[in-house]
Amino acid sequence: MNGDVKKILTAVKEGRLSVDEALLEIKEEPFADIGFAKVDLHRRVRQGTAEVIYGAGKTPEQIAAIARTMMQNGQQNILITRMSREAAEYVGRESALDYREEARVGMIGQGHPADGHGYVLVATGGTSDIPVAEEAALTAAFLGNEVKRLYDVGVAGLHRTLAHLDDIMNASVIITIAGMEGALASVIGGLADCPVIAVPTSVGYGASFNGLTALLSMLNSCASGVSVVNIDNGFGAGYLAGMINHIA
Amino acid sequence: MNGDVKKILTAVKEGRLSVDEALLEIKEEPFADIGFAKVDLHRRVRQGTAEVIYGAGKTPEQIAAIARTMMQNGQQNILITRMSREAAEYVGRESALDYREEARVGMIGQGHPADGHGYVLVATGGTSDIPVAEEAALTAAFLGNEVKRLYDVGVAGLHRTLAHLDDIMNASVIITIAGMEGALASVIGGLADCPVIAVPTSVGYGASFNGLTALLSMLNSCASGVSVVNIDNGFGAGYLAGMINHIA
Amino acid sequence: MNGDVKKILTAVKEGRLSVDEALLEIKEEPFADIGFAKVDLHRRVRQGTAEVIYGAGKTPEQIAAIARTMMQNGQQNILITRMSREAAEYVGRESALDYREEARVGMIGQGHPADGHGYVLVATGGTSDIPVAEEAALTAAFLGNEVKRLYDVGVAGLHRTLAHLDDIMNASVIITIAGMEGALASVIGGLADCPVIAVPTSVGYGASFNGLTALLSMLNSCASGVSVVNIDNGFGAGYLAGMINHIA
Amino acid sequence: MNGDVKKILTAVKEGRLSVDEALLEIKEEPFADIGFAKVDLHRRVRQGTAEVIYGAGKTPEQIAAIARTMMQNGQQNILITRMSREAAEYVGRESALDYREEARVGMIGQGHPADGHGYVLVATGGTSDIPVAEEAALTAAFLGNEVKRLYDVGVAGLHRTLAHLDDIMNASVIITIAGMEGALASVIGGLADCPVIAVPTSVGYGASFNGLTALLSMLNSCASGVSVVNIDNGFGAGYLAGMINHIA
Amino acid sequence: MNGDVKKILTAVKEGRLSVDEALLEIKEEPFADIGFAKVDLHRRVRQGTAEVIYGAGKTPEQIAAIARTMMQNGQQNILITRMSREAAEYVGRESALDYREEARVGMIGQGHPADGHGYVLVATGGTSDIPVAEEAALTAAFLGNEVKRLYDVGVAGLHRTLAHLDDIMNASVIITIAGMEGALASVIGGLADCPVIAVPTSVGYGASFNGLTALLSMLNSCASGVSVVNIDNGFGAGYLAGMINHIA
Amino acid sequence: MNGDVKKILTAVKEGRLSVDEALLEIKEEPFADIGFAKVDLHRRVRQGTAEVIYGAGKTPEQIAAIARTMMQNGQQNILITRMSREAAEYVGRESALDYREEARVGMIGQGHPADGHGYVLVATGGTSDIPVAEEAALTAAFLGNEVKRLYDVGVAGLHRTLAHLDDIMNASVIITIAGMEGALASVIGGLADCPVIAVPTSVGYGASFNGLTALLSMLNSCASGVSVVNIDNGFGAGYLAGMINHIA
Amino acid sequence: MNGDVKKILTAVKEGRLSVDEALLEIKEEPFADIGFAKVDLHRRVRQGTAEVIYGAGKTPEQIAAIARTMMQNGQQNILITRMSREAAEYVGRESALDYREEARVGMIGQGHPADGHGYVLVATGGTSDIPVAEEAALTAAFLGNEVKRLYDVGVAGLHRTLAHLDDIMNASVIITIAGMEGALASVIGGLADCPVIAVPTSVGYGASFNGLTALLSMLNSCASGVSVVNIDNGFGAGYLAGMINHIA
Amino acid sequence: MNGDVKKILTAVKEGRLSVDEALLEIKEEPFADIGFAKVDLHRRVRQGTAEVIYGAGKTPEQIAAIARTMMQNGQQNILITRMSREAAEYVGRESALDYREEARVGMIGQGHPADGHGYVLVATGGTSDIPVAEEAALTAAFLGNEVKRLYDVGVAGLHRTLAHLDDIMNASVIITIAGMEGALASVIGGLADCPVIAVPTSVGYGASFNGLTALLSMLNSCASGVSVVNIDNGFGAGYLAGMINHIA
């Protein structure tokens, strides 16, 4: 904002702009200006790196149009989440799209090279949690993070978790993804020294209540350093993990 | 029932009872009879062993009266649960009562000597779960079970659990007691080979919802062999563990 | 674990392995070792008896591959739960599979011969609960338990329950399966002297809330010796019943 | 209403009232008129029998004032529910009040003599349900119904229920009162041939959720002829039972 | 039961049966006997009147088989609820079936002639509640009750309710059926002098939560004499209304 | 009512009607009369303006019939909500229907010209909320209100909201429509000086619980002047906004 | 904002302020400026009228200090809500405070004279709802609205509501306040032609769930023109009613 | 672990330890060893920095004893959370304790000097959220983080939030703390570029359900980079913020 307002002020000082004209411009400016600076913030990741399109509820045509506009504005890395196969086929006709169906993630461009503090570990309790995990892992990787995957290490088979103690203890950030009782977050939170992002999944049946039980369980984790995102929100966890891994 | 009905039938056969008189007696008999056989079943534990008084909502006078009646009928072992200090003081004036305030349990007599298959392990996630654990442990012990205690082994400090792997793997039945996220049930359920009774506790705050989260979490345990009782129901778990440990 | 570590130690003692090499191996070992010993624990039942594949969310190909591997490792008894007809047809092409569609259970091999303390009684409140009951009954039977079935004995027709009082009072473990208000668990729990595993089902409509009401009802059972598993979790109940029936 | 409107119409006919004056009066009349006729309906029971004061949230002075007004209007039978000891003492100073503290019910007058079709049976699952049961029983009795009490016949001790089969099968209406899992409603509903009013109570702990579990359980009763009132609503059940017992 | 036991006793008296043989028969008898007497109770209405088949979850073949057996046993009036069009077509091939698709009710025979105290009024808040209302109305009518229908009188158009004040005030029993906020039960409960059975329906959207809001609303009715059955349980309301209307 | 009763009174005065005959007529009259005056109130908007048909659960034939009757009675403006494409096609065959599929709204006639105090602003948090917003906007416009739309101004991109501060601060009524966390209502409520009607939508996933979270969030808004309608109830918000905008 | 920025611009133009100094001031300004303009918005009502202090969680000293500051800034009308007796006594020592204990409302000054479109009607279902109603009524009156009270007109005594039909039909805005089943909102919403603000109260017991039932019921009102505020939020309703009554 | 095992291996190599003795020691070792390394992990923060005692449910004596032990082991910085005034007075008698009653936090020692990447911003929606905020701020500061406080910037007064845009945009981590509708997390999440930890508080009434609404709202935040901890969990947020601020 400063730059633009400074120009307006200078113009006023130099008599090129009347006070009233300046007033009008300044009144219009700040939000639009901030707006422009921030318009992409909630869906874009650090200028020059990548932009994100949330594909849910958008038609293939809409997704393609948004991606086209972004590319025309010079963006080379675009991450599309919750993308249907139909949308992927449609977008793939006009752009080189790397589509991962399990995660419902589409990627245009190579993403940002990994340049964070360390690596992001993505761990799941079971195999059914993998789609959410892949959404998280692909997001983190695309946004410039080294990612390690540690799948199917549910607490009922503790040895499997413990067998990867090194990976757990050396991570910069860990994303734990689990449905049913969601105990993995507490177990890994107790073993690790780094921030743990817990993602409850809707995996389970009966009293899992579509992820509610895992969500509540994770919120009550007795391990410190654990925080929670929405049920099945792999993207949110991957994005946040990347943010943490790039803290300056 | 058979004995009584046989007498009636014999009386009919011998003409000492008319058909109509017999009909009336038989009609009255069966339920009362079953009744008498079962009247104590839900609060008594194996004939000759012990009886249980659920103290909640009973006045000291009522508890004392019930205990007195039981003792007059020859019962030497009486377990009183949810017993207030006031009730303990009142009952203690007329009987030798061993009162454990933390567990709110009072015991008259020595209980039944331990004669089960193995031992019952009582494990808690934290120190705040100990009152419930003691209710469970004292119940199981009083009803004739060897009991081992393993307190404060929450999953956030996994090493503490693992340090007692032998106790876990050699138990006949395990009672796991935890509030907050209740993950202990899954971790122990995954390590053990025996039935695990999970007791959620109302320990916690916020989204623990007075034990609801631990309850749901335990019901969704990914470990096999785990079943759940009501929140804070230490007695129920101790009673059931004793039952399982005496399966014939 | 002992076996492997002993070999390493002997090699060190005999100079065949350096201290550092041994250190590395031991460091890698314990969890993998425990892991291997336990990897099947949560899905396998007593060594040499049977293994279990949880079929939900697995493709026919995946199930077939897992079963093949198990058989190649010498396992002759495999129980597959939540198995779709499609998966059954696929697996049936390469193995002799006994598939029970109602229970969605597939079995390879004869299962373990019944060798528990007594029999497991499986009781349902209504006919709609039978699929869950069959999952429980087939599981318990396959894992080496004599099973008796007592279906459609809901509490609204108490005489039907009472007509089978002998079966109830002589069981080693009882599995009670009911939807709607789930009162069967309390009624049978009050009649029986053995552990009762209650399985709420999603049978019902309106305020049954897909099994939540039966679940809460069973958790509040006023009968002692009753514990609860997840909604519709017939396998869990059958597995636990088998465990209890084999307590040593 | 008819009486008043008739007077107006007669006045019009006799020329004592103009059409417009009459129109105004009639327009004002009907609701006030119906109002007066119905003002007591929701708290009064059959004209000439008894009136009811809901004492919760009313001061002793307010209760006394209402009772005084009723008596001045000739009402000799007044039932006061949810009445505190303080209110009872206050009201008792000026009127002959029969106060039952357990049920928090106060009665002025003898109530209506029993003149219903048959008797109302009030059954409870446990002893803690008795205060609610007494509210129901005293209400029904005061409003002109013969009442039989059957307390502490919880389903965990089925023989006790069955021992009173005759009372159950001969009742005109049954009120079943239970907390915890509320299974009594289904058991009695299955045994009886008459309407069963189920009253969940807030008795219990943990997952009883202050009566919610009993409420849901009763709403899902598999027995026909069962309906449910609010948690702890003994008055409502007693009032409804009396209504049913007097159907003409 | 008496008849059968009397025969046995007579046979014993006359020496045609030994005491032990009689003992065996009597032991087998009572529950089976009570059973037989009660086996139909929860689905049959007053001997000689009608029997009820709950069609949900039953195949057309099963329904037809049950109906056939009933008819072979002399039953001429059979009510089938929650009956699909397919089942109706199947059953209709072998019996004269009067099928009402909206209510999903099928009827064999004419039902019992109306012989209750008065009439049952069935009132709905909206037109979407009519399927549930018809289930209630057809049930009550088939079981021997005069039925009046008062549909679409929701409280937002109070005049429509008030226009039928006579029907409301003269009914013996009223069934009020409403979704959304379920206020109809309170309004009619306040106007009527007779028992009101409230049936919440799953009609609505958003915060109606499939009938939960109407259910809770009805349970909290400030009008006396109102009780509630399960969401969408038209049959239960019609059955109970008939019971009340026949109180002797 | 006055007209009809006046006629009756006059007839009484003139001796053409006996007092008793008049009494009967008046008794029958008032509610029917009020009824007729109000029958359309809850679905009609200010006489002479427009009528509304709630299309959900109505067949195309039923909607067409209702619309036909309205038009035959002189109504030229009819708004049909929750209208399927099928219904629109059917109705469109006989009337000139302006159908907006996204909002599921059909309009016959031009609606009432805008004549309120100011304009109604309809703001949404995201693009997925637009169908609900359009239902609100079209309703308000059809009922005689100027409408401004402000879509996709979710709080995560605050600048977009702030960029339209003038529109917000000058509105007469604002409808804020949002799913997920529903924070838009508080943000706009804090900026605006006028009544804000908040409409939670079922947009979201996981812990949005189909709009419950947005609903609760909006009810707890820390901004004054905010009230809430049911989830997805665009019509209700548009209708209420129009009412407020026409307050006299 | 314009005024202040204009001064800055003029100063730049006139050379009294450098561009950089101006830049700094403008950067600091807008939000502080908007802030100043809005700082009181959410708790103050129309400039020059009244200010509001939310007393909950504030010490008597804090409330007194805030009030003092307001008065020092020339504000003569201050409304204090959720004010304890202690706070009232404390504040009353230094200012002339009109304290209404039932409503927990304190008022300094006479409030704004009534100058809205019409009057605000405040109606309650029962007498226990009056404290919330008084908070609403006093708020609306203090903020410049004529207020009519209509208390204890619950739907179970419909005649009482109908007797005041004129008051209902002539109001500009109606606030309906009810606990239990909250049906009053629908009944009044159906009778009235103006906006209805529904306030659920925590009055009731059992399944009223502290106002949740009334809240859900009101959100599902079948009457158009009804919106809802938080449980027991009398102030919010009174404030919103005043806003609506002053729409320009 | 390596160190200890290496010693054992060397002893075996050198013949000072038999293979069996070594086996036993190694078997006992790993968990105890890991245990010792990790025993404090979940409550201690980076070795040499500080230790944490969770004071809830601990007696003053217990807290004092734990602190004493820690100090005897050389720990100079101890943070005690959820500490009552009584406990503070007790501990203060033997140690120099800095007790902050509002936050219920006690501190022994100066804490770790601030050495993170940047500063932690702690923002609250209202003044009632400050106790939770102080727990978070004191925790983060004690564990070596620069902390900035930004209190009472609720979204209903957006200008207050925006006035501090610089503080928000330059933070390394932000903790947003809010009750009621919890919208602050989304607003700040949309403005900031860093990780946002959302802490719902139990501040509010009615439909805030003791923090549940804020919790759900925060989990559904439409802003990326937001994660959530348990209701009122200020410590957890402060601890996690410190962790993130020290990512290496």
Q: What is the pLDDT of residue A145?
A: 97
Which residues does residue D120 pair with via DSSP β-bridges, in sequence order?
D147, D173
Q: Say which of E31, E212, E233 has its CB closest to residue C159.
A: E31
G225-237 average pLDDT score: 97
Q: Which of C87, C81, C32, C79 is nearest to C55 (CA)?
A: C81
Task: Return the partners of chain G (3 or more C-beta pairs < 8 Å).
Answer: A, D, E, F, H
Mean per-residue pLDDT of chain E: 85
Q: What is the pLDDT of residue H62?
A: 86
Task: Give the whole-angstrom CA distance, residue B231 versus residue B219.
Answer: 12
pLDDT band at B75 (very low <50, low <70, confident <90, very high): confident
Task: Give the whole-angstrom CA distance, residue F64 versus residue E48.
Answer: 47
Task: Return the partners of chain D (3 or more C-beta pairs < 8 Å).
Answer: B, C, E, F, G
Q: Where are the beta strands (DSSP E) in B146-208?
A: 146-150, 173-178, 196-200
Verify that C85 and C125 share a domain, yes or no. Answer: no
A14: left (phi over 0), alpha (psi -120 to 50) or beta: alpha
Residue pair G2/A27 in contact (Cβ under 8 Å)? The answer is yes
B232: left (phi over 0), alpha (psi -120 to 50) or beta: left
Contacts of C180 in chain D (CB under 8 A): 220-222
Contact G190 F118 (CB under 8 A): no
Q: Note whether residue A43 is domain-resident.
A: yes
D237-242 average pLDDT score: 97
CA distances from E69 to D132, E63, E66 (A): 45, 10, 5
Contact E9 B30 (CB under 8 A): no
Which residue did the predictor score with more confidence, G70 or C203? Answer: C203
Q: Which domain holds residue A47?
A: 27-108
Q: What is the CA radius of gyration of chain H?
A: 22
Verify that C133 and C94 share a domain, yes or no. Answer: no
Could you tell me the two tokens for A234? 């792999």
Q: What is the pLDDT of residue A183?
A: 92
Q: What is the pLDDT of residue E169?
A: 86
The per-residue pLDDT for range D113-159, each reduced to its tens digit, is 999 999 999 999 988 999 999 999 999 999 999 999 999 888 877 77
∠ CA F235-F236-F242, nearest 5°, is: 90
F125-148 average pLDDT score: 95
- Tell whether the model's pLDDT for residue B40 goes beyond 70: no
Tell which of E51, E79, E108 closes a domain: E108
| Chain H, nearest residue to B166 by Cα | H28
pLDDT band at F24 (very low <50, low <70, confident <90, very high): low
Residue pair G228/H206 in contact (Cβ under 8 Å)? The answer is no
Least confident stretch, A182-191, E234-243, G41-50? G41-50
Q: Note whether residue C47 is domain-resident.
A: yes
Chain centroid to Cα D214, Å, comes to: 20
Verify that H91 and H133 share a domain, yes or no. Answer: no
pLDDT band at C38 (very low <50, low <70, confident <90, very high): very low
Contact B13 E12 (CB under 8 A): yes
Q: Note whether residue G185 is domain-resident.
A: yes
For chains F and E, tell me whether 3 or more CB atom pairs sit within 8 A of each other: yes
Which residues does residue G51 pair with via DSSP β-bridges, in sequence order?
G44, G78
G172 Cβ neighbours under 8 A, 6+ residues apart? F247, F248, G116, G117, G118, G119, G120, G194, G244, G245
CA distances from F3 to D6, F29, H107 (A): 19, 11, 83
Q: Note whether residue G197 is domain-resident.
A: yes
Q: Smallest CA–CA separation between A188 and chain B, in Å?
A: 8
B121 Cβ neighbours under 8 A, 6+ residues apart? B147, B148, B149, B150, B167, B168, B171, B173, B174, B175
G174-187 average pLDDT score: 94
Contact F224 G247 (CB under 8 A): no
Q: Number of Cβ pairs closer than 8 Å across E and G?
A: 126
List for chain G the helix, strand, coil content (%; round to 5): 50, 20, 35
Q: Where are the beta strands (DSSP E) in chain H?
A: 44-45, 50-54, 78-81, 97-100, 105-108, 119-124, 146-150, 173-178, 196-200, 226-228
Q: What is the pLDDT of residue F157?
A: 73
Contacts of A207 in chain C (CB under 8 A): 211-212, 215, 230-231
pLDDT band at H4 (very low <50, low <70, confident <90, very high): low
Q: D61 — phi, psi (to 5°)?
A: -65, -45
Verify that D132 and D76 share a domain, yes or no. Answer: no
Contacts of G211 in chain H (CB under 8 A): 206-207
Q: What is the pLDDT of residue D47?
A: 38
Q: Which of B42, B165, A98, E78 is nearest to C1 (CA)?
A: B165
Other Cβ atoms closer than 10 A to H10: 15
Q: Say which of F32, F39, F200 has its CB closest to residue E157.
A: F39
Residue pair C177/C167 in contact (Cβ under 8 Å)? The answer is no
Other Cβ atoms closer than 10 A to F164: 17
Contact A217 B183 (CB under 8 A): yes
Verify that C139 and C194 share a domain, yes or no. Answer: yes
Task: Give the whole-angstrom CA distance, residue A168 versus residue A195.
Answer: 11
pLDDT band at H1 (very low <50, low <70, confident <90, very high): very low
Q: What is the pLDDT of residue H25?
A: 62
The per-residue pLDDT for range B150-169, each reduced to its tens digit, is 998 888 777 778 778 889 98
Q: Number of Cβ pairs closer than 8 Å across A and H?
A: 103
Residue pair G58/G88 in contact (Cβ under 8 Å)? The answer is no
- Bridge pairing between strands B97-100 and B105-108: antiparallel
Q: What is the pLDDT of residue H35?
A: 25
Half-sphere exposure (CA, 13 Å, Cβ side) for A77? 19
Residue pair F44/F76 in contact (Cβ under 8 Å)? The answer is no
Q: What percent of chain G clears pLDDT 90, i.e. is strictly above it?
A: 58
Residue pair E173/E241 in contact (Cβ under 8 Å)? The answer is yes
- Tell whether the model's pLDDT for residue D193 goes beyond 50: yes
Verify that F239 and F166 share a domain, yes or no. Answer: yes
What total number of domains does chain A contain?
2
Q: Note whether residue F147 is domain-resident.
A: yes
Which residue did the predictor score with more confidence, E164 or H92? Answer: H92
For chains B and F, tell me whether 3 or more CB atom pairs sit within 8 A of each other: no
Contact C225 B239 (CB under 8 A): yes
Q: Note whether residue A16 is domain-resident.
A: no
| Chain G, nearest residue to F212 by Cα | G216
- Tell whether the model's pLDDT for residue B84 goes beyond 90: yes
Q: Provide the CATH number for the domain around residue D225.
A: 3.40.50.1970
For chains G and B, tell me whether 3 or more CB atom pairs sit within 8 A of each other: no
Task: Return the partners of chain H (3 or more C-beta pairs < 8 Å).
Answer: A, B, C, F, G
Q: Number of Cβ pairs closer than 8 Å across D and G?
A: 48
Q: What is the pLDDT of residue E175?
A: 98
- Give the predicted TM-score (pTM) of the model: 0.87
| Chain H, nearest residue to F205 by Cα | H220
Task: Return the partners of chain E (3 or more C-beta pairs < 8 Å).
Answer: B, C, D, F, G
Contact F240 G247 (CB under 8 A): no
Which residue did the predictor score with more confidence, E40 or E231? Answer: E231
Contact C240 B227 (CB under 8 A): yes
Verify that G104 and G134 share a domain, yes or no. Answer: no
Q: What is the pLDDT of residue H89?
A: 97
Q: What is the pLDDT of residue F29?
A: 39
Q: Note whether residue D21 is domain-resident.
A: no
Contacts of H41 in chain B (CB under 8 A): 157
The label of the residue with tokens 């503070």 reads: H88
Task: Give the whole-angstrom CA distance, residue F105 versus residue F92.
Answer: 13
Which residue did the predictor score with more confidence, F193 or C108? Answer: C108
Task: Give the whole-angstrom CA distance, residue B6 versus residue B12.
Answer: 10
Contacts of D248 in chain E (CB under 8 A): 117-118, 172
Q: Which of G87, G78, G81 is nearest to G59 (CA)?
A: G87
Tell which of D87, D108, D129 closes a domain: D108
- Give me the sheet containing G97-100, strands edge to edge: G44-45, G50-54, G78-81, G105-108, G97-100
Least confident stretch, D53-57, D169-173, H229-233? D53-57
Q: Note whether residue A184 is domain-resident.
A: yes
Q: Which ipTM did the prediction report?
A: 0.83
Tell which of D108, D143, D169 closes a domain: D108
Verify that D53 and D157 share a domain, yes or no. Answer: no
F156-178 average pLDDT score: 87
Task: Give the whole-angstrom CA distance, residue A21 versus residue A3.
Answer: 18
| Chain F, nearest residue to D16 by Cα | F13
F84-90 average pLDDT score: 97
Verify that H123 and H57 share a domain, yes or no. Answer: no
Q: Smallest CA–CA separation between D187 and chain C, in Å?
A: 6
Contact F27 D19 (CB under 8 A): no
| Chain F, nearest residue to D18 by Cα | F13
3-state secondary structure of C202: coil
Q: In b/e form, how buried is each residue of E174-208, taking b as 16+ CB within 10 angstroms?
A: bbbbbbbbbbbbbbbbbbbbbbbbbbbbbbbbbbb
- Tell whether the model's pLDDT for residue F129 goes beyond 80: yes
Verify that A173 and A72 share a domain, yes or no. Answer: no
Task: Give the whole-angstrom CA distance, residue D191 versus residue D199.
Answer: 17
Q: What percent of chain C clears pLDDT 70, i.e. is strictly above it?
A: 86
CA distances from F171 to C123, F109, F120, F163 (A): 65, 27, 6, 15
The per-residue pLDDT for range A8-43, each reduced to its tens digit, is 778 888 888 877 777 656 544 333 222 222 223 223
Q: Which of E221, E222, E188, E185 is nearest to E201 (CA)?
A: E185
∠ CA G210-G216-G219, nearest 5°, is: 135
Verify that E135 and E219 share a domain, yes or no. Answer: yes
The per-residue pLDDT for range H131-189, each reduced to its tens digit, is 999 999 999 999 999 999 999 888 877 777 877 888 998 999 999 999 998 999 999 99
Q: What is the pLDDT of residue B46?
A: 35
Verify that G80 and G156 share a domain, yes or no. Answer: no
B98-102 average pLDDT score: 96
Q: Alpha helices of G143-181 — where are they, by DSSP H?
A: 158-162, 165-170
Contacts of C16 in chain H (CB under 8 A): none
